[in-house]
Structure 1
Amino acid sequence: MNPISLVIAIPDRSVRRRLTEELGASPWIEIVAETRDLMTTYAEVEEREPMAVVIAGRLARAPEFEVMRALFATLDVRWLVITEVPDASARDQGSPWGRTSDLFPIDTDIPADRLVETLRSVTRTARRHGVSPVPPRTETPPTSRPTPPSNVVPDRAKTNRFIVIGASTGGVDALLTVLSSFPADCPPTFIVQHTGGGFGDSLTRLLDRQCAARVRPAAEGATASHGDILLAAGSRAHMRLAGGSPLRIVLEPGQPITGHMPSVDALFHSAVPGARRAVAALLTGMGRDGAEGLRALRDAGAVTMAQDEATSIVYGMPRAAMELGAAQSSLPLQQIGPAILRACAAPPQASPSQRMTTR
């Protein structure tokens, strides 16, 4: 019998020790580490590659956790999230779980024997016998980037369009889906993803490995041409477009906007001067960051879209955009990447004033 290797990640020392003693007494469980914060948990999971992690709900709700999960996806780790109220709705505003295959809510007072049975039922048999169901992570050589999809815009069809995207809760998986449809020579793309500090660089590397285009962290004065994607995540400054050819960004320290740093609204508002060339998308996320900026872009002539409710992990930001009339379309996640590329291939829209004078 091969026991299930387990990490217990709980800030409360008494709760952590109780679970360690109760679960450690089971012949089915091998406790390989105890942690009390996300950074230590990240290090232990990376080193020990456990089959499962029992994690406190408040750690799982931190923005960094979503990035951590994505980074360890190939390890097939199961995350059992302790919550006082087991989640009954995938759209609950405080819930990081509900629509994923690796997150499982458990009651805070679950008996040890039931928790062991849950662990036995949700961990993969292949992992128990030491066979990884997914190949280990490797860096993708520059010469073997993912094959561009069939909807690549030919060089001769390139326009001066650019793309701006905002995302929050559920955004890591959403971005992986959207960007996987982008060709290696996609229009210049600028993204704000809400996440905590410490994981921005890891998220950038994850997206870069999975995308045909080049994903780089946002840096002061950086420029983006075709094939470049600049990502602001976990930084203490807002990313704003500063114009130029190629397009240049500035990083602006200051106070959070709509509760976030960096802010999607800050990025979207900075794109308004070039709105006729812009294609903007607002993806899954809690709150309303990005909704006002998306409305400003639409009013100035940009192509705007939002993720639909059915495919959003949290339908907060997209809902706010739809209620404001900021998005011209509400689309399922799988359709957003292709829709962005189609919009980029079309001629820029006329400004509102130009449309009025041509009647």
Structure 2
Amino acid sequence: MTVRVLVVDDSLTMRNLISAALRQDPEIEVVGSAADPIEARAAIKTLNPDVLTLDVEMPNMNGLEFLEKIMRLRPMPVVMVSTLTAAGTDVTLAALEIGAVDAVPKPATATPEAFHDLIGKVKTAARSRVRARSDAPPREAAPQNYSPDPRHVLAIGSSTGGVEALLTVLGGFPANCPATVVTQHMPANFTASFAARLDRVCAPTVTEAVEGAPLEPGHIYIAPGGVAHLETTPGLTPRCHLSVGDPVNGHRPSVDVMFDSVARLKRPMTGVILTGMGKDGARGLLTMREAGARTLGQDEATSVVYGMPKAAFELGAVERQLPLHRLSSAILELCADPAVRSVA
């Protein structure tokens, strides 16, 4: 299968670099390029690309406005190409929330080789499931009365499509949610902005994980992107541990590493695997289930990429598969205080 790509960027140099990088793969055909959304709109109608690469800052209409129009009028896979400034990461995260499949940072060195990651992301995007924003079911409202099991630890893993999925799931959590650790495959420098974004829109406290942070109810800890694996250490109060090691399954942080560490805590636990390409997290979730954890997976119909949840389900690691909009309440029920068991 040949993936047809339209490159959209206001810089001719950047358009040429991205196009040259993508043409290194024989399964990718760059069918055209555009300098702004007006040119891009005409090119989409004429060329009918499979995937769009999209810059954020462009003349006539910025990338976010254009992306919103695409997702409303002609949903298609979009990969954002963004600067690594604080403002750039915030806008890119907003784009992922709107419906962009993935994002890559603009490299410091302007060579086609610097865009190597883009090739894999474009090919993954071509296999993704993109829906019009109006088709998404409403998010579950956080319960008014909820008592978490104070000993329970919740672990969530996600990748491609995970920004939107995590906003949906965590947005349905009350302020006193179970202690939660999250590994989302994301470029370095993006996770701090992502944690801050989640903290603004979710009731619990959301932070990027730091070494030694205690796992407490009402807190969600996001694995830092690119620098270390997020693990949990056992004890009277489990804590975050950032282990500097080689990538696992091609990822650092790895969902498998996090799930494996949670399985060793010897306390009530729940594991959840969301949308994503590949199989990272499948084996670790099985380890959790074998250690007594309850486990859930996002279903195929609502996954942007049904890779990680599928691998976990086929391995026997997933106890139940559910659509994205039903996961929050199911998770809270499993993590509730057994003396109360009320999520009403």
On whether the aligned pair clears a TM of 0.5, the verdict is yes
SS at the partner of 1:295? Answer: helix
Partner of 1:8: 10
Q: What corresponds to 2:290 in structure 1?
A: 299
1:320 matched to 2:318? The reply is no
**Do residues 153 (structure 1) and 176 (structure 2) align?**
no
Counterpart contact for 2:80–2:100, Cα < 8 Å: no
Q: 1:334 to 1:8 in 2, by over 3 A?
A: same
* 200 and 58 in structure 1: CA distance in 2 versus 1, 3 angstrom threshold: same
Cα distance change of structure 1 residues 267 and 172 upon mapping to structure 2, 3 Å threshold: same
CA shift for structure 1 position 264: 0.2
RMSD: 4.1
Q: What CA distance in whole angstroms lies between the structure 1 residues aligned with 2:197 and 2:95? A: 10
8 A Cα contact 2:272 2:296, kept in partner: yes
The DSSP-based 3-state class of the residue aligned with 1:236 is coil
Residue 272 (structure 1) shift: 1.2
Q: Map Cα deviations across residues 153-212 of structure 1 (whole Å, 9 max, x no partner).
A: 23xx64311100000001000001100111101111000000112211111111111100
- Matched residue, 2:34: 19
Aligned twin of 1:285: 276
Structure 2 residue 211 is the aligned partner of structure 1 residue 220: yes
- Give 3-state SS (helix, strand or coil) of 1:240's partner: strand
2:283 is equivalent to residue 260 of structure 1: no
- Asked if 1:95 is matched to 2:88, the reply is no
Classify 1:279/1:151 alpha carbon distance in 2 versus 1 (closer, same or farther; 3 Å).
farther
Alignment partner, residue 232 of structure 2: 241
What are the Cα deviations for residues 35-79 of structure 1, in whole angstroms up to 9, with x where unaligned?
xxx9x945x37xx8453279xx895499x99985442579x7999
CA–CA distance in structure 2, aligned partners of residues 22 and 161 of structure 1: 48
Q: What corresponds to 2:66 in structure 1?
A: 52
Give the total of aligned pairs: 270
Aligned mates of 1:41, 1:332 — CA distance in 2? 31
Deviation at 1:148, TM superposition (A): 7.3
Task: Quickly say closer, same or farther: Cα 1:152–1:169, change in 2 above 3 A.
Answer: farther
Q: Does 1:162 align with 2:153?
A: yes
Work out the CA distance in 1 between the residues paired with 2:239 and 2:325.
29
Further displaced range: 241-250 or 186-195 = 241-250
Shift in CA distance, 96/182, structure 1 to aligned 2, threshold 3 Å: farther
Which of residues 66, 70, 94 in structure 2 aligns to 1:71?
94
**Secondary structure, counterpart of 2:222 in structure 1:** strand
Report the residue type matching 2:291 in the other structure: A
**Residue 344 to residue 19, structure 1, CA distance change in 2 (3 Å):** closer
Q: Counterpart of 1:105? A: none
Larger-gyration structure (1/2): 1
How far 1:245 sits from its partner (Å)? 3.6
Unaligned runs of 5+ in 2: 1-7, 21-31, 42-52, 71-76, 104-122, 134-139, 340-344
Structure 1 position 95, deviation (Å): 2.9
In 1, are the aligned partners of 2:79 and 2:100 still within 8 Å (CA)?
no
TM-score (ref. length: structure 1): 0.64
Q: Is the 8 A contact 2:298 2:322 kept in 1?
A: yes
SS at match of 1:274: coil
Q: Check the 8 A contact 2:229/2:243 in 1, yes or no.
A: yes
What is the CA–CA distance in structure 1 between the aligned matches of 2:292 and 2:146, rounded to whole Å? 22
Contact 1:164–1:279 (CA under 8 A) maintained in structure 2: yes
Give matches, 1:97-246, under 5 Å. Answer: 98-101=129-132, 149-150=142-143, 152-154=145-147, 158-246=149-237
CA contact (8 A) 2:99 2:130 kept: no
Mapped to 2, the partners of 1:94 and 1:215 lie a distance apart of 28
Shift of 1:275: 5.0
* 8 Å Cα contact 1:67-1:172 kept in structure 2: no
The alignment's TM-score, normalised by the length of structure 2, stands at 0.66
Any conservation in 2 of the 1:275–1:302 contact (CA below 8 Å)?
no
Q: Deviations over 1:213-255 (max 9, x none)?
A: 0000011111221111000141310011012343201111110
Structure 2: how far apart are the matches of 1:73 and 1:59?
A: 9
- What is the identity, as a one-letter code, of the residue corresponding to 2:287? A
Q: Distance in 2 between matches of 1:73 and 1:228?
A: 23
Which residue identity lines up with residue 317 of structure 2 in the other structure?
A
Note the C-alpha offset of 1:334: 1.1
Deviation at 1:266, TM superposition (A): 0.3
What 5-or-longer segments of structure 1 have no aligned partner?
1-5, 27-37, 82-91, 103-146, 349-359
Q: How far does residue 14 in structure 1 lie from its aligned partner after superposition?
A: 9.8
The question of 1:310 aligning with 2:310 is answered no
